Structure 1
Amino acid sequence: MGLFTKRKRRPSRRAEAKALKHKAGLEAKLVARNDRKSRRAEARTQRKVAKAQIAAYQAEEKAADKLAAKAERDPFSPGQVKKYLGVARILIPVLAPLAYRAATYVRGQLDVRRAQQLGIGIDQLGDYAGHGGRLQARIANTEAALEKVSGEGKADDTRSFVGTTKERLESLSAAVRTADQMPAARRRAVHTAVSSELAGLEADVLARLGVR
């Protein structure tokens, strides 16, 4: 059979080899092209990831800046409190004596004003403390005026007026002292009644002294 088998001609073998070489070249180009596309896609992905990370870092930094700015504005933030404490440690030894003197002066002025309102000396202010202090001061002032009435006249009606008024003032003083132990509503009611009666006694004493 070998006698009848046709051999391939040399030009055909050369063409076949050329075709195979061309095919291999195309395949290599295709692989290279796919490889370049893959690398480009991978590079794009990496760039996107890098951008996302940068954006996240920038957002975190911006949020941290906002928190820091808010903390600076907040007067009671830990940082500000530390500053206050540091300043206080420096200023307290200097300001404490000044504050004490200022408080003492203000308290003295308030005591003077209260004593003037009650019509008593400032040294007597402690004797008229409590809820009924104002009424007790009025009673004391009326008793002092009553002593003047007693010294100005020896007539029977004057002595009777002085005696009766003194007893009434003592009763009113006892009522005020008792009211200090009562609930607020009852105490106010007693004080109102005492003030009303005391106003009448004050007017009578002033009339005896010639004051209208």
Structure 2
Amino acid sequence: MGLFKRRKSRATRRAEARAIKAKAKLEARLSAKNEARRYKSQQKAETRALKAQLRAQRESDRSALKVAEMQLKAAREGKLFSPGRVRRLLTVARLLAPIAVPLVYRASIAARGFADERRAERLGVPLSQLGQFSGSGAELSARIAGAEQSVRQVAQKKPKDAETKQFVAAITERLGDLSAAVTAAENMPTARRRAAQAAIAEQLDGIDADLMARLGVA
């Protein structure tokens, strides 16, 4: 009888051990499934949040770009915004400052570059040399610089010709005098400055004609 009880007890323990092991496996599978579902749900939530953030970012970018384009257009056309329009733009700019500020900065740089290109074209000088010419006599200074370059070309064309050397020396001296006159005219009263600049321009016309003739253009 005791042997039967021991065997039964041993069998019971084995059965219980198998049951516990099976239960543990089942719980592990359920836990893994729950963890997978939780992870999948979390991934979906993060994806939805990211998509919403990207949509909001695109809307902000479009709004900021519109503000920048309006300011660039106004800068190119030389127009001013009305007070109400300025207030609206400032409100938008405050809301979109992290995005709008760099865009507006780039737009202002582009507008400044456009204005510089127009000014360089008017003066007839490369954009890289624009900073060398300023003030009311900037155009005359640019013309003098261009004439000096033409003088160098004339000298290079006939480097050993005595008459050419004399011409180059005379024109170089005249251009130096005219450059000094342009600088002096900047400090004159408006009427005198305009008269002086007109006289300088007339002399430059004659020099340009002589140089073009020497270069075989005229």
TM-score range normalised by the length of the shorter chain: 0.5 to 0.7
Partner of 2:144: 139
Q: How many angstroms does 1:96 deviate by? A: 2.4
Give the alignment partner of residue 169 of structure 2, picking from 157, 163, 168: 163
1:113 equivalenced with 2:103 (yes/no): no
1:104 equivalenced with 2:115 (yes/no): no
Which letter maps to 1:100? Y
Q: Tell me, in whole angstroms, the C-alpha distance in 1 between the residues paired with 2:118 and 2:187.
A: 26
Partner of 1:62: none
Partner of 1:123: 128
CA RMSD, Structure 1 to Structure 2 (Å): 2.2
1:194/1:121 CA distance change after superposition, 3 Å: same
Partner of 2:203: 197
Residue-by-residue CA offset, 1:112-155 (whole Å, 9 max, x unaligned): 22222222222211111111111111001111011111111232
Q: Tell me, in whole angstroms, the C-alpha distance in 2 between the residues paired with 1:204 and 1:129.
A: 27
Which letter maps to 1:142? A
Q: How many angstroms does 1:84 deviate by? A: 8.3
Which letter maps to 2:209? A
Identity rate, percent? 47
Q: Tell me, in whole angstroms, the C-alpha distance in 1 between the residues paired with 2:91 and 2:125.
A: 47
1:119/1:85 CA distance change after superposition, 3 Å: closer
Residue-by-residue CA offset, 1:89-113 (whole Å, 9 max, x unaligned): 3134432222211110010111122
Residue-by-residue CA offset, 1:141-177 (whole Å, 9 max, x unaligned): 1110111111112322211111111110000000001
Residue-by-residue CA offset, 1:30-80 (whole Å, 9 max, x unaligned): xxxxxxxxxxxxxxxxxxxxxxxxxxxxxxxxxxxxxxxxxxxxx97xxxx
Q: Tell me, in whole angstroms, the C-alpha distance in 2 between the residues paired with 1:172 and 1:85.
A: 49
Partner of 2:60: none
Which letter maps to 1:136? S
Given the two structures, how large is their TM-score scaled by the length of structure 2?
Answer: 0.56
Alignment of 1:1-212 (within 5 A): 89-153=94-158, 154-212=160-218
What is the DSSP-based 3-state SS (H/G/I as helix, E as strand, rest coil) of the residue aligned with 1:130? coil
Q: Tell me, in whole angstroms, the C-alpha distance in 2 between the residues paired with 1:192 and 1:85.
A: 46
Q: Tell me, in whole angstroms, the C-alpha distance in 2 between the residues paired with 1:189 and 1:157.
A: 34
Contact kept in structure 1, 2:93 and 2:101, CA below 8 Å: no
Larger Rg: 1
Comparing 180-189 and 111-120, the one that deviates more: 111-120
What is the DSSP-based 3-state SS (H/G/I as helix, E as strand, rest coil) of the residue aligned with 1:160? helix
Q: How many angstroms does 1:85 deviate by? A: 7.3
Comparing 95-104 and 196-205, the one that deviates more: 95-104
